[in-house]
Structure 1
Amino acid sequence: MTLLSVQNLSVRRRKREVFKNISFDVQEGEFISLIGPNGAGKTTLMRAVLGLLPHSGESSLANKSAHARAHTVAWTPQSREIAWPVSVERLVALGRLPHLATGQRLAPADQAHVDGAIARLGLETFRDRAASLLSGGEQARALIARALAQDTPLLMADEPIAGLDPAHQISTMQMLRTVADEGRAVMVSIHDLGLAARHCTRLLLLAGGRVLADGGPGDVLTPDLMAEAFRVSIWHEETERGAVFQPLEVVT
């Protein structure tokens, strides 16, 4: 089932064309990583897809009402500032708001989604702690848990593992892959190409104002494409323990 359809999407900002005529679909069960060099427009593309930025072209999400969109996609932006000292449990529970009538309290089924999201991100010991007092990486995990608790068919996150330590980067990518394997779709932007190679089912390489490549990690993380998009040489091998990818040197 197609959860997101994007056709000929283009964005101009400050009189500069960020990208033009980008088209792709997102299907159930996919774990898609949006990759590309700094300034390629990854965040801009995700925000335009959600209808948060002016654009031309079509996105099946952009024209939905806010209520309908909240039932279709959960969005975790790159900004992680938590201004209010609410508990982690209450922060995660905010993900259930689209499913509640005004003033309605959490039902047992809603609480189960909250508890499940907290457990999946390993936040049980932080449940009663003020979210605003957590470290940056802990706040990132709490915000991902809020998105999981929303229980939408599609989860989108902008650099969800930035600032996490290696163990939590790996566990978060494993968890997101499990979410996709369970039948939802996940789309993230990410800079760690090694983790993208190991965990994602599909990569969208954005560079030069267009989608330079779209396919499985083995089809996208090639020497020629990495040299064109990132100006780096690479080592990429399938091993008994999964894919291993490493940028090596800057090439000219």
Structure 2
Amino acid sequence: MYHTIKTELTDNTLFIYINRPDKLNALNQEVMSELALAIDEVYSNKEIKSAVITGKGEKAFVAGADISEFLTLSTEQGTDLAKKGHVIFKHIEDCPKPIIAAVNGFALGGGCELAMACHFRIAATNAKFGQPEVNLGLIPGYGGTQRLTALIGKGKAMELMMTGDIITAEEALQWGLVNHVVAPGDLLLKATELLQKIHAKAPLAIARVIKCANAALDKDIDGYETELNEFGACFGTKDMQEGAEAFIQKRPAQFTGN
């Protein structure tokens, strides 16, 4: 089905591998199109409760965009390219099911932007992060200027984007860009461990957490109003009734997503 990505469904988690290790998993248009299809599957397949995006091979998550595709683009074509990236990465960000980036190796340029579009990030100790587009006379174009600023603050984000510097996994952890740093061999294990914990919670509540957290950074949405509405909507679900009864009865809740 896919040529540039690979997917595996295990324990209700769809593992999405960017599969161009000979090109350090660089994002070309085929990768972007196939990634979009995989994310559509996460939305639509009821068997899938979560997803992990990672890269094949030991060197790179995604080392950036495929620069060879940029050489002949006009201003209008460059804008169209960025628009496509914006749509796909926003679709990841807005997914009602948790999507984790498991960063193994380089996450540069579009790779860093892809990782930031996920709900949170886990990094292997050998991971490297950066937005070095200024070295090419470019800027981040897939939402990186906005998401990086939101995640690590304006000052650090501007320094990273203007210098083109690359930071280590430990620095990314200190700066708030990633949630956890683990040994490379434990990367997918850690992602699975966290997702299994999330799978035990109420799916509709998880989806509402994602929606409200995203609203906090959307200038066109009142985040507090979103929280009020989503909080109230929880009271119309069977899962909230089950959760409250289980708490009172001192037993584990059995959530059904209803």
TM tier, smaller: under 0.3
State the TM-score, normalized to the length of structure 2: 0.25
State the TM-score, normalized to the length of structure 1: 0.26
Q: More strand per residue: 1 or 2?
A: 1
Q: More helix per residue: 1 or 2?
A: 2
